[in-house]
Amino acid sequence: MRYLVNDKLRGSDAVSKSGYHHGDLRRTIVAAAVAAIGESGLDGWSLRELARRAGVSHAAPAHHFGDKTGVLTAIAAEGFTLLAEALEAAEADFLAAGLSYVDFAVKHPVHFAVMFQPGIYRADDEAVQQAETRAGDVLRLGAKAMAAGSKAAPEHATLAAWSIAHGFASLWLSGALRVPPGTEAVDAARPVLHMLVE
Amino acid sequence: MRYLVNDKLRGSDAVSKSGYHHGDLRRTIVAAAVAAIGESGLDGWSLRELARRAGVSHAAPAHHFGDKTGVLTAIAAEGFTLLAEALEAAEADFLAAGLSYVDFAVKHPVHFAVMFQPGIYRADDEAVQQAETRAGDVLRLGAKAMAAGSKAAPEHATLAAWSIAHGFASLWLSGALRVPPGTEAVDAARPVLHMLVE
DNA sequence: TCCCAATCTAGTCGTTGTCAAGTTCGGTTT
DNA sequence: AAACCGAACTTGACAACGACTAGATTGGGA
């Protein structure tokens, strides 16, 4: 297996020979897209810019992703997988799961923003659907634990739990909350989530 | 010169008779932008398309808004004003305010999406700031009513109320919720919000 | 009546997404 | 070992876009 980082080999004659195939373009592009979106917002990036960063031609990304939407679809799929993993680690405890949800959103704000932005990616994509239902299953499982201690309907409890965690995370990321500087999102979320479970 | 005027504006408002001066371009552009975003998503529109719809030259919108961000800023300001009005009608009742919040998001999904998307508009715009604090004040007032009946800290109650309403609205709009078809958002939200106040 | 500032047009530049067609390479078959 | 196949990537082209500039037009106030 040949790993070729273009910038490092620049200047050698081997570039023209081995530089044709990047080797790991797909992952490189996704990572670059996440970074670019993090810096400049959801539409502050271009396929050509990603290509430039990766040191490939301007049309190379389209080969792997079809179009711009394809890159966002890949990010969404990655996001739902990461979320599922985070929630699975918290097991069937609402407070822990809720904090994990917030923690995921804060640590992967770009993924989070893409995932819940309807229409900007292909929600019917196979990889997305798979990761999405996986995350959804863990979510429902976690909220069921909370509903057990309550006399409310489980589906209402699930929705309430999901809503409050999702809402807090969204508001936090949007910058709408005015909290003391230096506050960690998870610490700020704890008492808020606690209001739901009593 | 072309003489093209929107039918909507033709009847009621006073519109200039000349083809050169549109007469109400600013409002027309904002409305067209909201419609276009509703159809094709947050970046599925262009200034030139809005200009074409309004029957003016491709650079006319830039005169009123400076750039594309200016249009989004106007939408955000309008959104916060609409939200403030909706919340003010609900007065100091948490459940009613929460339902109004959800109702606003469902009825004005484009405004809602823009408002809480950090970075895509000028959050430091004067009109935005003004409308934003106005909406925020009503919100804090409504949540204070809920906190009165509880023994929790008022700021936690405010955050929890805001989070659960905002989270439900966001999830609903993102299409992530799987509810029976034909369900109204407000009806689905009622039992969920009820879980916070007991 | 005249004049000026707001409004809108016209033209241009650099950039973008996407498409079609060509090139190169690793791996597999023959 | 030689031919070759398909995937990975390049090259070139095109229409559309945002942004900018300079100029044309208009209506309201002096």
Note the pLDDT tens digit of each residue in B21-53. Answer: 666 889 999 999 999 999 999 999 999 999 999
In a domain, A26, yes or no: yes
> What range does the domain containing A24 cover?
6-66
Q: Quick one: A98 and A109 in the same domain?
A: yes
* Token reading at B122: 């000028």
Note the pLDDT of residue A20.
Answer: 63
Q: Quick one: B164 and B84 in the same domain?
A: yes
Would you call A43 and B41 a contact, using CB atoms and an 8 Å cutoff? Answer: no
* Token reading at B19: 């083809």
In a domain, A11, yes or no: yes
Mean pLDDT over A13-20 rounds to 41
How far: A79 CA to D2 C1' (Å)? 47
What is the C-alpha to C-alpha distance for residues A146 and A158, in angstroms, rounded to an integer?
Answer: 8
- Whether B15 has a pLDDT exceeding 50, the answer reads no
In angstroms, the first-to-last Cα distance of chain B is 65
In a domain, A1, yes or no: no
Cβ–Cβ contact A150 with B under 8 A: yes
What is the C-alpha to C-alpha distance for residues A192 and A22, in angstroms, rounded to an integer?
Answer: 47
Which CATH number does the domain housing residue B12 bear?
1.10.10.60
pLDDT digits (tens, 9 = 90+) for A86-135: 999 987 788 999 999 999 999 999 999 999 998 999 999 999 999 999 99
pLDDT band at A66 (very low <50, low <70, confident <90, very high): very high
Q: Which residue is nearest to nucleotide D12 (CA to C1')?
A: A59
Q: Quick one: B57 and B93 in the same domain?
A: no
Comparing alpha-carbon positions, the chain A residue that sits nearest to B188 is A156
- Whether B3 has a pLDDT exceeding 60, the answer reads no
Which CATH number does the domain housing residue A99 bear?
1.10.357.10
Q: Looking at beta carbons, which residues of chain A come within 8 Å of B150? A: 195
pLDDT digits (tens, 9 = 90+) for A67-93: 999 999 999 999 999 999 999 998 778
Instruction: Report the domain count for chain B.
Output: 2
Would you call B164 and A116 a contact, using CB atoms and an 8 Å cutoff? Answer: no
- Whether B136 has a pLDDT exceeding 70, the answer reads yes
In a domain, A167, yes or no: yes
In a domain, B53, yes or no: yes
The single residue listed with the structure tokens 């804090």 is B140
